[in-house]
């Protein structure tokens, strides 16, 4: 099979390219290498490119998903497109909503059109932000180091959870637009699509920054002596999923021949962390004392988001394998080896 990975030089994209190349697939990694420019941060955009070029059966193409002609060319004869390329930060979407829309909404439309013309499958990286502020309408309770759902029997947010009549931020809106388009291309054109509404994905080769990739960013900041700011009180909770477990879910979807499905994907109720709990783990693993600063809550921040992963477990025969403690330990080891490029 031939697989096109948009955003192939990104964090998730590079792990997908690595996995499918090892599986014997022909892989094309498409990336415009502009993450740092878009986020306004100094990010090493070449590290993952050099990694991809070291792999057999991976071809790297520098290109932009907002240019349909580029997508049309690189997707020829592809059996599947895994669409990871995106504008990924809420803060950036607030500052430049047009750029956010062009990348996330128009870019996804271009991917779908390329897939329709090639009759190939599409895996779309959506986000828990499609549920917007509705998540904050679920009753919660405050504990010592975290917030939690008030109902201990509530397993998390299901795929049927309300997406309407709430604040999303431009980022949540653009990703939801892409999400709905992917659903409709399955219904109208019969495309084999899988939508994965991702919670907190983390792992090695993630160049986390303050605006996006909080587990990687806290680890990088701790080991390189940079200040850490917590927006809110630090008790906000996410279900966290190590990147290789996400890749396994995508692999299972493509191999199971499913179509037109939507999955909430994250660590689930068994794999959760608050910001304060991550700091405790990092202090234990690194031996460093962390004293964060505090600032106001960010717009539409969800105090508790935990995915109900029951559908993915049932249809894909999938479950997470990497615990938060083990996953953070692997990031610490990667950052310690690569501090000179971070």
- Give backbone dihedrals phi and psi of 29, rounded to 5 degrees, phi first: -105, 115
Look at residue 300 in the predicted model and tell me its pLDDT. Answer: 82
pLDDT at 326: 98
Determine the pLDDT at residue 299. Answer: 86
Residue 172: per-residue pLDDT = 97
| Number of separate domains in the chain | 1
pLDDT at 55: 95
* Per-residue model confidence as pLDDT tens digits over 152-193: 999 999 999 999 999 999 999 999 999 999 999 999 999 999
Query: Catalytic residue among 124, 147, 171, 185, which?
Result: 171
Phi, psi for residue 194 in degrees, rounded to 5: -135, 125
What CATH number has the domain bearing residue 321?
3.40.50.720
Give me the residues of the chain with pLDDT under 50, please: none
Q: Cβ neighbours of residue 179 under 8 Å, at least 6 residues apart?
A: 124, 126, 130, 195, 197, 262
Is 185 among the catalytic positions? no
pLDDT tens-digit series, residues 183-233? 999 999 999 999 999 999 999 999 999 999 999 999 999 999 999 999 999
State the residue range of the domain holding 97: 2-341
* 143 close to 277: Cβ distance less than 8 angstroms: no
Q: What is the 3-state secondary structure (H, E, C) of 74-114?
A: HCCCCCEEEECCCCCCHHHHHHCHHHHHHHHHHHHHHHHHH
Instruction: Please give the pLDDT value at position 158.
Output: 98
Q: What is the pLDDT of residue 50?
A: 96
Q: What is the pLDDT of residue 249?
A: 98
Helix, coil or strand: residue 165: coil
């Amino acid at each position: 099979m031939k697989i096109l990975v948009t955003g192939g030089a990104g964090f998730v994209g590079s792990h997908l390219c690595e996995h499918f190349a090892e599986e014997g697939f022909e892989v094309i990694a498409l990336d415009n290498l502009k993450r740092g420019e878009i986020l306004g941060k100094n990010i090493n955009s070449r590290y993952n490119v050099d990694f991809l070029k070291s792999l057999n059966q991976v071809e790297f193409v520098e290109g932009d998903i907002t240019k349909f002609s580029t997508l049309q060319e690189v997707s020829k004869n592809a059996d599947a497109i895994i669409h990871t390329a995106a504008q990924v930060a809420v803060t950036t979407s607030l500052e430049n909503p047009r750029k956010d829309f062009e990348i996330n909404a128009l870019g996804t439309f271009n991917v779908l059109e390329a897939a329709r013309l090639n009759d190939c499958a599409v895996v779309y990286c959506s986000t828990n932000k499609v549920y917007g502020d509705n998540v904050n309408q679920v009753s919660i309770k405050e504990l010592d180091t975290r917030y939690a759902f008030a109902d201990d029997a509530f397993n998390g947010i299901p795929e049927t959870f309300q997406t309407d009549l709430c604040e999303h931020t431009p980022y949540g809106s653009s990703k939801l637009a892409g999400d709905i388009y992917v659903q409709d291309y399955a219904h109208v054109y019969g495309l084999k699509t899988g939508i994965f509404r991702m919670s907190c994905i983390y792992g090695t080769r993630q160049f986390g920054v303050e605006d996006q990739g909080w587990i990687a960013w806290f680890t990088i900041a701790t080991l390189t002596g940079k200040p850490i700011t917590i927006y809110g009180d630090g008790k906000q909770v996410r279900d966290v999923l190590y990147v290789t477990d996400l890749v396994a879910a995508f692999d299972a979807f493509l191999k199971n021949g499913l179509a037109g499905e939507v999955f909430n994907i994250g660590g689930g109720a068994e794999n959760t962390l608050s910001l304060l709990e991550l700091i405790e783990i990092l202090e234990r693993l690194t031996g460093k004392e962390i004293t964060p600063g505090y600032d106001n809550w960010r717009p539409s921040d969800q105090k508790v988001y935990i995915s109900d992963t029951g559908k993915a477990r049932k249809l894909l025969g999938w479950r997470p394998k990497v615990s938060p403690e083990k996953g953070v330990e692997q990031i610490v080891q990667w950052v310690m080896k690569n501090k000179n490029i971070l």
